A and B are shown apart, each in its own frame.
Chain A
Amino acid sequence: MTSFQRWAFCLTVPAALLTLCLYVLPILQVLALSFTEPTFGLGNYVALFQNAAIGRVVRTTVFVSAVTTVLTIVMSYAVAFALVHMPPATRRVALFMVMVPFWISVLVRAFAWITILRRNGVLNSALVGSGAVSQPLELVYNQFGVVVGMVHYMMPFAIMLLYANLSEIDLRIIQAARSLGARPVTIFFRVWLPLSMPGLAIAGLFIVIFSLGFLVTPAILGAGRVLMVAEYISVQISSTLRWGVATALSTMLLLVVGILIALAMRSPALRAAFEGGRK
């Protein structure tokens, strides 16, 4: 380390201390409840694995998160790919459109989806009115509605991450592929896709981690029919007072996310993503 590097490193110390004292320690204090409440020991963790209901909550969470991640990645990739190929003026407008949902509260967005998807909502009225369906479709208060809301919430993040990655790809490589006689489909699968792996990996990881902890969207769009881990924890904290179970489940969630990140960091694609820009 040069002295300049040391000095630069010292700049991060205040923020690190603040985080440690005001965030990490208090959270550890709360999570410690999982070993002491209601009695001392690992009882809460044993209960987690024996309780069929918690098993179902975890399965729902994993399933909904997985579907959300796949759909978000596919659709966001399409948008990011289009963004890269737009003329700059159009791109500015398109990026603005992507950013708008960012500034709207998650609560408002969930209620907006209810307005669109409910039985007499915008979408069903249009479908029934045009004769496309005879009965309104069940689009909300179920897993479908929850996934729609979650995908909508995650897409701006994914688009930005993928766009950052795609816009770094050197277009001369694409031209080289074309001049060597590759067809558009081949170019996409043999050039674009491998080069965008770092972006896909980091966007995927980001969405999975986010999705596992979703609270507001599943609660509102699922209306009791889709119970996910975060809501289960929140019920145990604020109404049933089972803080031991709640903190044990939170600790498990934290561990799973930690393990996911650790595993992901072993993959070359992600390492490349975090070292992106250092050409």
Chain B
Amino acid sequence: MTAMAGLGIAVAFKPGPASAEASEIVVCNWGGAALEAFQKAYGEPFKAKSGMEVVIDGAGPATGAIRAMVDSKNVTWDATDGGMVDAVVLGKGGFVEPIDYSIVDKSLVGEGLAAEFGICNYTYSNVLAYDAKKVGATAPSSWNDFFDLEKFPGKRTMCKWIQGQLEAVLLADGVKPEEMYPLDVDRAFKKLEPLLPQLIFWESGAQSQQLFRDGEVVMGNIWHTRANLLRKENPDYTWTWNQNLMFASAWSVPKGNPAGKKVFDFINSSLDPESQVTLLRLMGNGPSNPKALALMTDEDKAVYSLAPENAKTGLPISAQYYADNEAELQNKFLDFISR
């Protein structure tokens, strides 16, 4: 109920223009290690170029939070770090500004990464991560192995949030990548049902890491960025790029953002290959600018979803499909896993 009360306060009090000065850009991301990393990769270079301070707020730009801000005309964020799906959904609802492509250079990002209400700031993947100590001599190498309890006994983890979950299940069930969408939900549930007793569902990246550290699971469907952090801690934790599920994250601009058009200068600056490689090295978030590949070492490419050898078996997640179906599907999924 606190969320509701918060919304209520926001609705009851309509302060004047938001407190952010137009001399700064306020970026909202998901917090944790990303606070410092965004400042280093995006904030510092932008300040050097424009003299404008970049403030990173780690509150988490959930679509509900953006909607509450815009509805109450109390917008404090200039750029939000959400998924490409969120950008489409928020655009449809009229809660975000269209990206101004007279300021933002569309050609800086790869094919299909620039949309009306969002432009890709980085890419990441859901991958099959595993604990090499626990899986025996042969490592799991496909989603098929995720379902093979005989060869790989033990618990697995999947995410409570729907994007990229059923795709893995359907790949294991033999659906061809090019025939993935629209998802055959009933088929996916049927395949997943027998595995439910062996599953623990994570809801935050930190939790997905903890399940591996605690030895609770032998493998899982987790973000490659988190698998990368795990591997840095302990090389026993690793992942396969085979059948990885590729996501585009995106900048969106809430309607009536305090810094106005200036935010697009920031967005444009964040597409700089140097900035993007910095973020890759700090977090594993992959560049959306193809030119960044030329700046990468082999070590960098090993954690980059869009590096040619990693992308070749990858399945691009359809933002349009989720924009149309996510709410319905998310509720169905929560209902299914809690039976």
Binding site for B on A (CB under 8 A): 21-23, 25-27, 29-31, 53, 56-57, 60, 118-120, 141, 213, 219, 222-227, 230, 232, 234-243, 247, 250
Q: List 5 A-B contacts (CB under 8 A).
A: A30-B7, A56-B338, A56-B339, A119-B155, A223-B200
Most buried by A among B8, B67, B330: B8
A234 touches B3 (CB 8 A): yes
Chain B interface residues toward A at CB < 8 A: 1, 3-5, 7-9, 11-12, 62-65, 67, 89, 93, 155, 160-161, 200-203, 214-216, 326-327, 330-332, 334-335, 337-339
A234 CB to closest chain B CB (Å) equals 6
Compute how far the CA of A93 lies from the CA of B256 in the bound complex, rounded to whole angstroms. Answer: 57
Shortest CB distance B218–A (Å):
11
A-B pairs, top 7 by smallest CB distance, nearest first, are A26-B8, A224-B201, A238-B64, A240-B327, A227-B338, A53-B335, A238-B62
Known: A56-B335, A225-B201, A226-B338. Is A240-B4 also a contact (CB below 8 A)? Answer: no
Interface of B is mostly: helix
Residue B9 contacts which of A26, A31, A56, A243 (CB distance < 8 angstroms)? A26
Q: In this complex, what residue of A is CB-closest to B155? A: A119
**CB-contact partner of A27 in B5, B64, B327, under 8 A:** B5
Q: How far is the CA of A23 from the CA of B202 in the complex (A)?
A: 34
Please determine whether B161 and A239 come into contact, CB atoms closer than 8 angstroms: yes
Q: Which residues of A contact B3 (CB under 8 A)?
A: 234, 237-238
Contact, CB under 8 Å: A29 / B335 = no
Given A27-B5, A250-B4, the answer on whether A239 and B216 have CB atoms closer than 8 Å is: no
User: Looking at the complex, which one of B4, B67, B161, B216 makes contact with A241 (CB distance below 8 Å)?
Assistant: B67
Give, as a whole number of angstroms, the nearest-CB distance from A52 to chain B: 8
Is A241 a contact partner of B201 (Cβ separation < 8 A)? no
* Chain A residues positioned under 8 Å from B215 (CB to CB): 119-120
How far, in Å, is B56 (CB) from chain A's closest CB? 20
- A240 pairs with B330, CB closer than 8 A: yes
A230 to B1, CA, bound (A): 8
Per DSSP, are chain A's interface residues mostly helix, strand or loop, or mixed? helix
Q: Other than A22-B9, A120-B214, A225-B338, give 20 A-B pairs with Cβ distance below 8 A.
A: A26-B5, A26-B8, A26-B11, A26-B12, A27-B4, A53-B331, A57-B338, A219-B203, A223-B160, A223-B201, A224-B338, A226-B338, A227-B335, A230-B1, A236-B331, A238-B63, A238-B64, A239-B63, A240-B327, A240-B330
Bound complex: CA A237 to CA B63 (Å): 9
Report the minimum CB–CB distance from A81 to chain B (whole Å).
Answer: 33
A120: chain B residues at CB < 8 Å are 214-216
Chain A residues near B155 (CB-CB < 8 A): 119
Chain A residues within 8 Å of B339, by CB:
56
A223: B residues at CB distance < 8 A? 160, 200-203
Whether the pair B337, A225 counts as a contact (CB closer than 8 A) is yes
Q: Do A242 and B327 touch across chains, with their CB atoms under 8 A apart? A: yes
Given the known inter-chain contacts A23-B5, A225-B338, please indicate yes or no for A240 contacting B331, CB distance below 8 A: yes
B8 touches A27 (CB 8 A): yes
What is the chain B residue whose CB lies nearest that of A246?
B4
**Given A119-B216, A239-B330, A241-B67, are A224 and B1 neighbors across the interface (CB < 8 Å)?**
no
Among B8, B62, B201, the residue within 8 A (CB) of A239 is: B62
Q: How far is the CB of A228 from chain B (nearest CB, A)?
A: 9
A232 with B334: CB separation less than 8 A: yes
**B11, closest chain A residue (CB):** A29
Contact of B12 with A238 in the complex, beta carbons under 8 Å: no
Q: Within the complex, what minimum Cβ distance (angstroms) separates B114 from chain A?
A: 24
The distance from the CB of B82 to the nearest CB of chain A, in whole angstroms, is: 11
Q: Given the complex, which residues of B lie within 8 Å of A141, measured CB to CB? A: 200
